[in-house]
C-alpha cells in the first residue's frame, strides 16, 4: 500500500512548528485519556450502580451499550460537520460537552437520568473522536505521522487497561459519582493546552447535509439495536425487522451519498479500492479482538477454573503487548509499506489465535499468556500502519471523513464481535476452541484483504498527487 500513502501538498504538510506541536500533542493525548479511562472504569462500577440505584444488572448495562450505540451513530455525521465548521472548533465543542455531562452525574439520581447524561457524554466523545485522526495528521510531519498515530493509539490502549484497577480503587474509598469526575480535570486540561495550539484547517462553506446525517445515524442505530436484541433474548421477529429496516435505509443512504460531492458516508474515499479493502481488514481485526477478549474469560473460569484475578492477569497481556507492538510498528510505518506491516501482523495474529484453539491437555497460565501476547502483538503491528494509510489516502480536506471512517469501522467491528461472542455463548460453543478458530479465520480474511489492497495500490496511481486527485474526482 506504499503508493497510496501520499501527502497532500496543502495546509501544514510538514506538521505544526514546535513548541506549538507539543502543546497540541498534549491536548489530543489528554482527550484520548479522558474518554478511555471513563469507559474502562464504568464497567467496574456497574454492580455498585445496580445496588445503589436498586436497578437490575441488565438495565444498568444500558449505560455501556447506549454509549457505544451513540458513538457508532454519530462519528461520521460529526466528521462531516468538522469538515464544514473546522476541526478545532468541533474538537473543543466535544470536550466542553463531555466535561459538562460529567458534572451532571452529581445531580443524576436515577438510572434514566444517568442514561440521559451518558448519552450527552457519548455525543461529546463522538465529536472529539470524529476529528482526532485528522487533527493528528495536521500536528505531525508526515515523516513521523506513523509514530504519532501509534502513540495516540497506545495511550488509549494502556489507559483502557489500567482503568478497571483505578476504578476499583476509587470505588473502595469514594462515592461512585466521583468515578466520573476523573475525566473532568483531564478534559479541562485538554481544552487549555489546545486553545491556541490545535491546528485549524479552514472548513468549507457548503451547507451541512442534515438528511444524510440522520440517515447515517438511523442506518447504524437500527442495525445495531436489531443485532443486540437478537442475541439478548428479544423478539426474533422484531430484531429481524430492525436489521431489515437498517439495510433498507442504508441502501438508500449509500445510493444518495454516491451523488454528493462531499458525502457524510465517505463513498468517495471507499471508491479507491486499497482504502475499501484496508477498511474491511480493519473491521475484521476489530471483530477478532472482541471475540477473543469476550469469550476467553468464560473459557478460563468455567473450563479451567481460573479465579477472577488469574483471568485478569491473562487478559492484561493483550493490551500491553499490543501497545508496545503498535509503537514499534508505528515508527516502522513511516519507512515501510503499510501493506507489508499489516500482512505480517495479521499472519502473527492468525498463528496466535490458532494456538489458543489448540492448547496442551493441561495448560498453564503461561500457555495462555504467551499465546495471547502473540495474537495481540499481531494486532498492534497491523493497527498503526493501517490507521496511517487510511488517514493519508484521502485528500487533506477529507481527512476528517477518512478518520471517521476508520473509527466507525473499528466501532462496528467491536459491536459485531461482541454480538458474535454472545451468540456463540448462547449456542454453548463459546467456551471452547470455536471462538479462537473463528478469530483465526477472520485474521486470515483480513490478511487476504490487506494483500489485495497492497497489490491494488501497487497498480494504482504512481504519485501521491495522483492519489489525491483520483479521490477528489471519484
**What's the CATH number where 344 sits?**
1.20.1250.20
> Last residue of some domain: 259, 286, 317?
259
> Last residue of some domain: 259, 294, 326?
259
CA dist 380 → 104, 161, 240, 282, 286 (Å): 36, 15, 35, 12, 11
Q: Considering its fold, how many domains does the chain have in total?
A: 2
Peptide bond into 19 cis (omega under 30): yes
CB 73 within 8 A of CB 408: no
- CA within 13 Å, CB half, 282: 29
Do residues 46 and 66 both lie within one domain? yes
> Last residue of some domain: 192, 227, 259?
259
Q: What is the pLDDT along the chain (474 residues), one digit of tens a residue?
A: 443 444 333 444 578 888 999 999 999 999 988 888 887 788 778 778 888 888 877 678 788 888 889 999 999 999 999 988 889 999 999 999 999 999 998 888 888 999 999 999 999 999 999 999 899 989 998 888 888 888 888 888 888 778 877 888 888 888 888 888 888 999 999 999 998 899 877 666 678 999 999 999 999 999 999 988 887 767 788 989 999 999 999 999 999 999 988 899 999 999 889 999 999 999 999 999 989 988 888 888 888 888 877 887 888 888 889 989 999 998 888 888 888 899 999 999 999 999 999 988 888 889 999 999 999 999 999 998 998 898 888 888 888 899 999 999 999 998 888 888 888 888 888 888 999 999 999 999 999 999 999 888 877 653 344 444 444 444
CB 269 within 8 A of CB 396: no
| The three cell numbers locating residue 308 | 477472577
Alpha-carbon distance 410 to 287, whole Å? Answer: 8
Alpha-carbon distance 239 to 244, whole Å? Answer: 9
Alpha-carbon distance 320 to 326, whole Å? Answer: 10
Do residues 200 and 60 both lie within one domain? yes
Residues 6 or more apart in contact with residue 191 via CB below 8 angstroms: 27, 92, 95, 96, 99
Do residues 278 and 350 both lie within one domain? yes
Alpha-carbon distance 249 to 243, whole Å? Answer: 10
**Residue 157: per-residue pLDDT:** 82
Domain limits for position 301: 2-209+260-473
**Residue 164: per-residue pLDDT:** 75
**Residue 76: per-residue pLDDT:** 95
**Residue 425: per-residue pLDDT:** 85
Amino acid at each position: 500500500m506504499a503508493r497510496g500513502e501520499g501527502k497532500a501538498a496543502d495546509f501544514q504538510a510538514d506538521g505544526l512548528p514546535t513548541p506549538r506541536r507539543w502543546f497540541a500533542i498534549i491536548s489530543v493525548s489528554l482527550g484520548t485519556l479522558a474518554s478511555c479511562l471513563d469507559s474502562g472504569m464504568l464497567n467496574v462500577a456497574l454492580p455498585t450502580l445496580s445496588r445503589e440505584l436498586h436497578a437490575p444488572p441488565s438495565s444498568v448495562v444500558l449505560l455501556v451499550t447506549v454509549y457505544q450505540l451513540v458513538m457508532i451513530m454519530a462519528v461520521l455525521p460529526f466528521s462531516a460537520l468538522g469538515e464544514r465548521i473546522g476541526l478545532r472548533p468541533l474538537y473543543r465543542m466535544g470536550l466542553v460537552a463531555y466535561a459538562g455531562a460529567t458534572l451532571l452525574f452529581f445531580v443524576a439520581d436515577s438510572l434514566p437520568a444517568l442514561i440521559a447524561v451518558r448519552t450527552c457524554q457519548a455525543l461529546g466523545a463522538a465529536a472529539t473522536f470524529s476529528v482526532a485522526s485528522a487533527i493528528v495528521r495536521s500536528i505531525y510531519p508526515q515523516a513521523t505521522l506513523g509514530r504519532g498515530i501509534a502513540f495516540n493509539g497506545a495511550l488509549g490502549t494502556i489507559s483502557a487497561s489500567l482503568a478497571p484497577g483505578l476504578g476499583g480503587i476509587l470505588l473502595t474509598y469514594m462515592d461512585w459519582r466521583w468515578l466520573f469526575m476523573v475525566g473532568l480535570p483531564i478534559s479541562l486540561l485538554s481544552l487549555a493546552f489546545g486553545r491556541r495550539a490545535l491546528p485549524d484547517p479552514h472548513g468549507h462553506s457548503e451547507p451541512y447535509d442534515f438528511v444524510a446525517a440522520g440517515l447515517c445515524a438511523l442506518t447504524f442505530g437500527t442495525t445495531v439495536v436489531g443485532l443486540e436484541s437478537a442475541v439478548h433474548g428479544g423478539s426474533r421477529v422484531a430484531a429481524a425487522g430492525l436489521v431489515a429496516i437498517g439495510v433498507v435505509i442504508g441502501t438508500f443512504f449509500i445510493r444518495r451519498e454516491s451523488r454528493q460531492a462531499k458525502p457524510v458516508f465517505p463513498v468517495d474515499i471507499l471508491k479507491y479500492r486499497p482504502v475499501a479493502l484496508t477498511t474491511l481488514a480493519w473491521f475484521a481485526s476489530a471483530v477478532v479482538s472482541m471475540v477473543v477478549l469476550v469469550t476467553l474469560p468464560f473459557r478460563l473460569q468455567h473450563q479451567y477454573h481460573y479465579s477472577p484475578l488469574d483471568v485478569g492477569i491473562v487478559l492484561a497481556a493483550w493490551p500491553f503487548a499490543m501497545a508496545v507492538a503498535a509503537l514499534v510498528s508505528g515508527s516502522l510505518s513511516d519507512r515501510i509499506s503499510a501493506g507489508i506491516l499489516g500482512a505480517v501482523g495479521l499472519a502473527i495474529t492468525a498463528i496466535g489465535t490458532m494456538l489458543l484453539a489448540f492448547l496442551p491437555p493441561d495448560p498453564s497460565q503461561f500457555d495462555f499468556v504467551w499465546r495471547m501476547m502473540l495474537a495481540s502483538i499481531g494486532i498492534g503491528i497491523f493497527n498503526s500502519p493501517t490507521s496511517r494509510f487510511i488517514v493519508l489516502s484521502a485528500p487533506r480536506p477529507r481527512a476528517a471523513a477518512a478518520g471517521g471512517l476508520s473509527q466507525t469501522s473499528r466501532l462496528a467491528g467491536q459491536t459485531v464481535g461482541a454480538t458474535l461472542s454472545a451468540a456463540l455463548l448462547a449456542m454453548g460453543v463459546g467456551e471452547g476452541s470455536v471462538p479462537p478458530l473463528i478469530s483465526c479465520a477472520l485474521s486470515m480474511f483480513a490478511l487476504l484483504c490487506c494483500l489485495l489492497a497492497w497489490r491494488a495500490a501497487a497498480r494504482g496511481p504512481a504519485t501521491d498527487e495522483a492519489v489525491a486527485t483520483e479521490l477528489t474526482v471519484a
